[in-house]
């Protein structure tokens, strides 16, 4: 057994070790480049809240966020996309009512059936945030990642500020992970 241990130890000693400086370590100054304003009113709500969430998450990760990317050591850019993925039931949203206005033959009172106050049918939406960090003046990313979450429109979890904070925090927690990783956020 000692002979096998010696062979394993010798083999491990010969194996090349990945360079420590190839890993991305957050720190120093960073400027956040905000994307062009969205034309869609719903997407425009994400503009300011997402920028604030990204800056806050980068600060929490150890960067010093400065207003000008032209003077920062690193430059961060991000995008946020949302796609409808079908219908889903959601708790806590307002309840729709199904009914016949005007009653029978257009006369009399209408009939309405409430579906309950705790469940609603809404649109399932996939929200993805992509974050890319480069060194100032360079085009090759030193780190990039994506985070995705799913939610139902009209719920508290679909609030733009909540989504932006959740996705940005998930991305910056993964700086030690390999670049290009996609994380799913509950």
> Is residue 171 in some structural domain?
yes
Are the C-beta atoms of residues 26 and 175 closer than 8 Å to each other?
yes
> Is residue 154 in some structural domain?
yes
Structural domain span for residue 75: 22-184
> Is residue 100 in some structural domain?
yes
> Is residue 14 in some structural domain?
no
What's the whole-number average pLDDT of the chain? Answer: 76
pLDDT of residue 154: 83
Report whether pLDDT(97) > 50. Answer: no
pTM for the whole structure: 0.70
State pLDDT tens for residues 103-141: 444 444 444 445 555 667 888 999 999 999 999 999 999
> Is residue 5 in some structural domain?
no
**Residues ≥6 apart with Cβ < 8 Å to 45:** 160
> Is residue 7 in some structural domain?
no
pLDDT of residue 49: 84
First CA to last CA across the chain, in angstroms?
47
Are the C-beta atoms of residues 129 and 80 closer than 8 Å to each other?
yes
> Is residue 12 in some structural domain?
no
CATH at 36: 3.30.160
> Is residue 13 in some structural domain?
no
| Domain count along the chain | 1
Are the C-beta atoms of residues 60 and 34 closer than 8 Å to each other?
no
């Amino acid at each position: 057994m000692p002979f096998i241990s010696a062979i394993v130890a010798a083999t491990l000693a010969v194996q090349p070790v990945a360079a420590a400086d190839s890993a991305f370590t957050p720190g120093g100054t960073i400027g956040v480049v905000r994307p062009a304003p969205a034309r869609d009113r719903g997407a425009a709500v994400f503009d300011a809240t997402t920028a604030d969430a990204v800056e806050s998450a980068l600060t929490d990760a150890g960067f010093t966020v400065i207003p000008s990317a032209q003077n920062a050591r690193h430059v961060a850019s991000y995008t946020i996309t949302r796609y409808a993925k079908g219908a889903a039931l959601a708790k806590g949203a307002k309840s729709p009512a199904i009914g016949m206005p005007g009653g029978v033959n257009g006369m009399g009172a209408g009939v309405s059936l409430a579906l309950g106050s705790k469940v609603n049918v809404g649109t399932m939406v996939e929200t993805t945030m992509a974050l890319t960090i480069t060194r100032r003046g360079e085009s090759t990313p030193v780190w990039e990642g994506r985070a995705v979450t799913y939610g139902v429109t009209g719920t508290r979890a679909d609030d733009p500020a909540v989504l932006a904070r959740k996705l940005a925090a998930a991305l910056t927690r993964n700086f030690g992970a390999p670049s290009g990783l996609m994380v799913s956020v509950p």
